[in-house]
Amino acid sequence: MSGAAANDTIAALASAAGQAGVAVVRVSGPAVPEIAKRLIGRLPVPRRAELARFTDADGATIDQGVVLYFAAPASFTGEHVLELQGHGSPVLVDELLARLVELGARLAGPGEFSQRAFLNDKLSLDQAEAIADAIAAGSRVSARAAIRSLEGAFAREVEALVEALTRLRVYTEAAIDFPDEDDVDFLADGEIEGRLAAITRDLQALRARAAQGAGFRDGLRLVILGRPNVGKSSLLNRLARRETAIVTEIAGTTRDVLHEQLSIDGLPLTLVDTAGLRETDDPVEAEGVRRARAEVAAADRVLLVIDDQAGLTDADRALLDEIPPDMGVTIVANKIDLSGHAPGPETLGGRTAVRVAAIDGRGFEELTAHLKSLVGVEGDAEPAFVARRRHLAALDRAAEALATGHERLVVDAAGELLAEELRLAQNALAEITGRVSSDDLLGEIFSSFCIGK
């Protein structure tokens, strides 16, 4: 994507709002050199920290601090950038921003600096998204994954796939244009099918890793259901008390639905305990049941807690029947200290089950491993990069196009239609990075071709 240069200059507080030791105000755009001259009396040497007075229209000092100037295009946004590090006082920051506006800047909207970085080819779209994800990350593991995305870990793999697709497209198109050369049918010689299969495999592997990245970004929302006294609250407390768990009470939880946020080995979990909903003769029970249903509908998965000593009772089965059929369920068979069963994974009534004792923590290693496996993570692996649902959807569309393309090739022997599906797959992938580089690359590849000369 070529830089559609912005013609205005934006300014914003880049550090956290409020009182602090230092406040960083960032200015980006073509007017930066002029603004610097009028604000601090000179244009600083690029990339060198300098002490300066930030002055108002009368030359009086608003604040003094460190300035850093980055000349375009060697800056975060690709534009001229000025960073003003003043005192962390909201009053001084307001005054400084007002002065910058007076000098021709306007206040930046959310994400505008990153947006300019993207438009100026400094970042791919997924890298720009990773900045927001790194800032918002709820765990160390998700923050590190976001930083890896920012460093281009995801974008590079997507771009490698786009390139492989482009080359296959070129090859396919050449095969269409020059069929039966030397009595060889390019479409049927297995080369195209083999390359298509390799790209499909790589795409599937990338999809699996992206799903982990998305899992660690978004976490899992789990609703705990079960009959009274099976140990729902104990399970929640045990999960929350694990050494690796960080527990945050969410203010404003309703009286009868408890939300608990924690992270297990870096995987953010929201546990929704509907405890009490069915244990009460309270007249509000009907409302409680309605809320429980709504919670189940919004969940990624249900943990149905049962008493392992009693096994899967009719009442448990009745609860299972109330869960929508498309919702994943894990049965947590609790109180194995009483039943005498061994801890760990099982199936019960055809469902995935894990046997535990909330009272002493037996089986919780297996339970947390199971929860991590729900987002595709085995063992202590960390996600290779962060990903969003939009990325997964794009990868799925690309995979679909490849599958259709394969069918066009082997069933219909229709090279043109295969090439069209390859183009669709490329476009889907290009949406992830926001770089529609495929046509440039096509030109590059074609120019090195001597076919048809």
Given the rule CB under 5 A, which residues bind Zn ion?
A: 232-233, 275
Given Zn ion, ligand GDP, none, residue 369, with its beta carbon under 5 to 8 Å by kind, binds none
339 contacts ligand GDP (rule: CB under 6 A): no
- Binding ligand GDP by CB under 6 A: which of 144, 335, 372, 435? 335
Residues in 70-109 at the binding interface with ligand GDP, rule: CB under 6 A: none
- Binding ligand GDP by CB under 6 A: which of 338, 381, 403, 436? 338
- CA 393 – CA 200 distance, rounded (Å): 16
**Helix extents (H) in 25-152:** 32-40, 90-102, 112-119, 125-136, 140-150
68 contacts ligand GDP (rule: CB under 6 A): no
| Sign of the torsion formed by the C-alpha atoms of 166, 167, 168 and 174 | positive
Rounded least distance, CB 256 to Zn ion, Å: 11
- CA 165 – CA 156 distance, rounded (Å): 14
Rounded least distance, CB 232 to Zn ion, Å: 5
Nearer to ligand GDP, 72 or 225 (CB): 225
Rounded least distance, CB 233 to Zn ion, Å: 3
300 contacts ligand GDP (rule: CB under 6 A): no
Q: Give the number of residues written for the chain.
A: 453
Rounded least distance, CB 231 to Zn ion, Å: 8
| Sign of the torsion formed by the C-alpha atoms of 394, 395, 400 and 406 | positive
With CB under 6 A as the rule, give the number of residues binding ligand GDP. 16
Structure tokens at 371: 């929860």
In degrees to the nearest 10, what's the CA dihedral of 43, 48, 49, 53?
Answer: -10
Rounded least distance, CB 363 to Zn ion, Å: 19
Q: Quickly list DSSP for 305-365.
A: EEETTT-S-HHHHHHHHHS-TTSEEEEEEE-HHHH-PPPEEEEETTEEEEE-BTTTTBTHH
Structure tokens at 180: 């039966």
Rounded least distance, CB 352 to ligand GDP, Å: 19
- Binding ligand GDP by CB under 6 A: which of 226, 383, 405, 415? 226
410 contacts ligand GDP (rule: CB under 6 A): no
In the beta sheet, which residues pair with residue 66? 51, 85
The answer to whether the beta carbons of residues 359 and 265 sit under 8 Å apart is no
232 contacts ligand GDP (rule: CB under 6 A): yes
Rounded least distance, CB 345 to Zn ion, Å: 25
Given ligand GDP, Zn ion, none, residue 226, with its beta carbon under 5 to 8 Å by kind, binds ligand GDP
The answer to whether the beta carbons of residues 216 and 145 sit under 8 Å apart is yes
Rounded least distance, CB 340 to ligand GDP, Å: 11
- Binding ligand GDP by CB under 6 A: which of 15, 200, 233, 352? 233
Judged by CB under 6 A, the stretch of 79-87, 205-213, 322-330, 355-363 that binds ligand GDP is 355-363
Nearer to Zn ion, 279 or 382 (CB): 279
Which residue in this structure is represented by tokens 């890896």?
148
The answer to whether the beta carbons of residues 338 and 306 sit under 8 Å apart is no
- Binding ligand GDP by CB under 6 A: which of 32, 62, 348, 358? 358
Q: Quickly list DSSP for 138-207.
A: SSHHHHHHHHHHHTTHHHHHHHHHHHHHHHHHHHHHHHHHSTTBTTB-GGGSSHHHHHHHHHHHHHHHHH
327 contacts ligand GDP (rule: CB under 6 A): no
Given ligand GDP, Zn ion, none, residue 238, with its beta carbon under 5 to 8 Å by kind, binds none
Q: Is 355 annotated as a binding residue?
A: no
342 contacts ligand GDP (rule: CB under 6 A): no
- Binding ligand GDP by CB under 6 A: which of 234, 339, 404, 427? 234
- Binding ligand GDP by CB under 6 A: which of 176, 359, 414, 417? 359
248 contacts ligand GDP (rule: CB under 6 A): no
Q: Quickly list DSSP for 203-256.
A: HHHHHHHHHHHHHHHH-EEEEEEE-TTSSHHHHHHHHHHSTT---EEPTT--SS
Which phi and psi (to 5°) does residue 301 adopt? -165, 155
Nearer to ligand GDP, 318 or 338 (CB): 338
- Binding ligand GDP by CB under 6 A: which of 95, 191, 202, 337? 337
In the beta sheet, which residues pair with residue 264? 267
The answer to whether the beta carbons of residues 301 and 370 sit under 8 Å apart is no
Q: Is 26 annotated as a binding residue?
A: yes
| Residue numbering of the annotated binding site | 26, 83, 122, 229-234, 248-254, 273-276, 453
What does the binding site for ligand GDP look like in residue numbers (CB under 6 A)? 226, 228-234, 275, 334-335, 337-338, 357-359
